[in-house]
């Protein structure tokens, strides 16, 4: 039978320090020679509080660097906290005739789906050439 774990102030402080330093539950449990279940049963509030404090400290550091003019920190902060995002939008123009063109937005997809999308869009553009009647329109 495995030995029973008895939490004390020293182990609580050690768990807090290890969690604040980015240790995972598995790593912290290994350091204390206990199971992850035992760790979370006895130290869940300590784990949560230490991780939150660490994240806030790093966030504060990024924020301070952003305010000081670090563009990379500013972009990172705005992406994480301000809802900013990078776009992977691709625009493709197709023109069978110089006067005719269209814009096609391409989602991220596999190559076979890409080929199908391109063929459909090319067909639609060709159907709209002057002098051609588009199906369903009179």
**Mind spelling out the 3-state secondary structure of 48-88?**
HHHHHHHHHHHHHHHHHHHHCCCHHHHHHHHHHHCCCCCCC
Please tell me the pTM assigned to this model: 0.55
How confident is the model over 108-121, as a mean pLDDT?
A: 76
Query: What percent of the chain is predicted at pLDDT more than 70?
Result: 74
Residue 106 pLDDT > 60, yes or no? no
The lowest-confidence range among 7-11, 27-31, 58-62, 105-109 is 105-109
Query: Which tokens is 60 given?
Result: 């504060």
Residue 107, SS3?
coil
Q: Give the domain ranges of the chain.
A: 9-81, 91-127
pLDDT: which is higher, 124 or 53: 53
């Amino acid at each position: 039978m495995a030995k029973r774990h008895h939490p004390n102030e020293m182990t609580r402080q050690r768990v807090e320090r290890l969690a604040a330093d980015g240790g995972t539950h598995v790593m912290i449990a290994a350091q204390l020679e206990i199971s992850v279940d035992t760790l979370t049963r006895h130290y869940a509030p300590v784990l949560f509080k230490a991780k939150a404090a660490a994240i806030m400290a790093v966030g504060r550091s990024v924020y301070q660097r952003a305010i000081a003019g670090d563009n990379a920190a500013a972009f990172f902060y705005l992406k994480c906290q301000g809802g900013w995002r990078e776009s992977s939008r691709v625009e493709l123009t197709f023109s069978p005739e110089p006067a005719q063109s269209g814009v096609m937005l391409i989602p991220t997809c596999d190559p076979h789906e890409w080929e199908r999308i391109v063929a459909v869009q090319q067909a639609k553009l060709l159907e709209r050439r002057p002098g051609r009647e588009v199906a369903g329109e009179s």
